[in-house]
Structure formats: C-alpha cells, structure tokens
Amino acid sequence: SHGNKEVFSCWGIQLAVDWFRERGHTYIKVFVPLWRKEPPRQDSPIADQHILEELEKQSVLVYTPSRKVKGKRVVCYDDRYIVKVAYETDGVIVSNDHYRDLQNENPEWKWFIEQRLLMYSFVSNR
C-alpha cells in the first residue's frame, strides 16, 4: 500500500522492517514472489528494487517460487507460506489480507489468523 496501488514500493517494505527492528524484533521475514526480481514491466512497476536484494542478503526477505510455463507466469500461493511460518514460529502476520480461505482450510490457522493478524496503513512514510 505504500506505493498507492500505482507502484510496488520496496521502500514501504523497508519501512515496515525498520519499524519492527526499532522495537527489538530480530526474527523478521518478508515474503515476495520470485518474479519481483525480474526487471519491472510497464504494467507492474516497482520502485527501489535494490532494497529487495539488501533484505535478501540480510536473510529477512524470502522469495516464494514462481516460474514461466509457455510464456505465462505461474506463481505459488504465497499466503500459505506466510501463515505457515507465522504459525510455526508463534509470530505475527503483517498484512491487509484477511486470509479467509486459509481460515476455512485449517481450524488451528483460523484462530491464529484471527488473533495474530496485524493490519496496517501508511501515513506518508510512517
């Protein structure tokens, strides 16, 4: 949401990571589809892409799998990665997604998502 739905803002990701670090959190994971490593396209702009590389080097960013089949991008369902890691590490999910489908899939995840989903909004760069 940092890019106002006009651009994928890597700076927004960095701001979120910094916010948690400033509060003493050390185990932070960011999930981004692998195709975000590709050069930006006109229909999918990305700003400050180098930030993703830096976060990956710090072992903060994890790329979820994607591939091309007959010229079309096939991506995994990265929501499952997010919920699974947060559940297994007793963490918090920072997202504006409600994960309703995953709540219906697994009763343990339902409770976890209801209790551990932290929704957010950016006000300028805060």
The percent helix, strand, coil of the chain (3-state, each to 5) is 40, 20, 40
Amino acid 76: pLDDT:
61
- What tokens were used for 28? 């932070």
Amino acid 40: pLDDT:
75
Burial of 126 (0-12, 13-18, 19+ CB in 10 A): exposed
Domains and CATH numbers, the chain: 1-76 (3.40.50.11980), 77-125 (no CATH)
Amino acid 113: pLDDT:
95
Amino acid 125: pLDDT:
86
pTM for the model stands at 0.84
b/e code 90-124 from CB counts within 10 Å (16+ = b) = ebebbbeeebeebbeeeeebeebbeebbeeeeeee
Amino acid 13: pLDDT:
94
Query: Alpha-carbon distance 15 to 125, whole Å?
Result: 7
Amino acid 118: pLDDT:
95
Amino acid 75: pLDDT:
58
Amino acid 29: pLDDT:
96
59 Cβ neighbours under 8 A, 6+ residues apart: none
- Residue with tokens 């950016």, as numbered in its chain: 122
Name the stretches of the chain with pLDDT < 70.
Answer: 4, 66-77
Amino acid 43: pLDDT:
76
Amino acid 69: pLDDT:
67
